[in-house]
Amino acid sequence: MKKIFLLFIFLIVLYGVSAQCVENWYCTSWGDCRFGRVTRTCEDVNNCDTSYNKPETKMDCSMNLSFLWIVMLVVIVVLVLLIIFRNKIHFKKRKPKLPYSNIGELELYIRTAITDGASMGDIRKNLINAGWVAEIIDKALSKYKNIKLGRGNLSIAENIQMALKKGFSKSDIKKQLLHKGWPEDKVDQILKMF
């Protein structure tokens, strides 16, 4: 009888171990963070009616929020740095602003000063004193740097200027000057000033 009893206990233990339910949990994704917590639902697909190995269904998400704030702060700092860098490059490439909006005014002054016999240095100094940017002055003066007017050529420049004011075209003025014996290269050189 002792053997039967031991066999009976062995079968109960064996049956109990093999009949024990093994939990198998399926959980949804974590939801959005609300009030500092995230939640999810978990279900035992084996329906063991136990929760020994049940996963967490609630978690504090304040750490996740602080991480998001750090990421957003880094993105904002990078954007600000990019804007500053872009503006520095833009300002370096930007052409100097003119104190006057009419370049024609500058060129007229230069032509008039040249015909009056002013030196390039004096013209440049006067324009800088008037508020013009040196870069723009130098560019405008470069058009006239190869023109050397002697006293005899001043009268031709004055005549051209008066004829233009009266409405004559450059081609008509050139024809008249060539007809009167002026050298074509000098006429062309001086006509470029106007």
Strand ranges for 28-151 from DSSP E: 37-39, 42-44, 58-60
Q: Is pLDDT above 80 for 55?
A: yes
Whole-angstrom CA distances from 189 to 26, 148, 157 are 93, 9, 10
What pLDDT, on the 0 to 100 scale, is given for residue 26? 93
Give yes or no: residues 114 and 148 share one domain. yes
pTM given for the model: 0.30
**85 belongs to a structural domain:** no
What is the tens place of the pLDDT at every residue in 25-37? 999 988 888 887 8
Give yes or no: residues 108 and 73 share one domain. no
Q: What percent of the chain has pLDDT over 90?
A: 10
What is the tens place of the pLDDT at every residue in 119-130? 778 888 888 888
Mean pLDDT of 155-173: 75
Give yes or no: residues 124 and 61 share one domain. no
Give yes or no: residues 170 and 110 share one domain. yes
Cα–Cα dist 50/9, whole Å: 25
Indicate the number of domains in the chain.
2
**160 belongs to a structural domain:** yes
**108 belongs to a structural domain:** yes
Q: Is pLDDT above 50 for 185?
A: yes
Q: Which two tokens stand for residue 97?
A: 């602003």
Closest among 71, 84, 136 to 110, alpha carbons compared: 136
What is the tens place of the pLDDT at every residue in 129-144? 888 888 888 888 887 6
Q: Is pLDDT above 90 for 114?
A: no
What pLDDT, on the 0 to 100 scale, is given for residue 17? 46
**29 belongs to a structural domain:** yes
Q: Is pLDDT above 90 for 63?
A: no
**142 belongs to a structural domain:** yes
Q: Is pLDDT above 70 for 64?
A: no
- What is the average pLDDT value for the chain, to the nearest integer? 75
Give yes or no: residues 107 and 177 share one domain. yes
Give yes or no: residues 124 and 45 share one domain. no
Give yes or no: residues 60 and 130 share one domain. no
What pLDDT, on the 0 to 100 scale, is given for residue 161? 74
Give yes or no: residues 180 and 112 share one domain. yes
Give yes or no: residues 73 and 108 share one domain. no
Cα–Cα dist 170/160, whole Å: 8
Q: Domain residues for 57? A: 22-77
Give yes or no: residues 69 and 119 share one domain. no
What pLDDT, on the 0 to 100 scale, is given for residue 154? 47
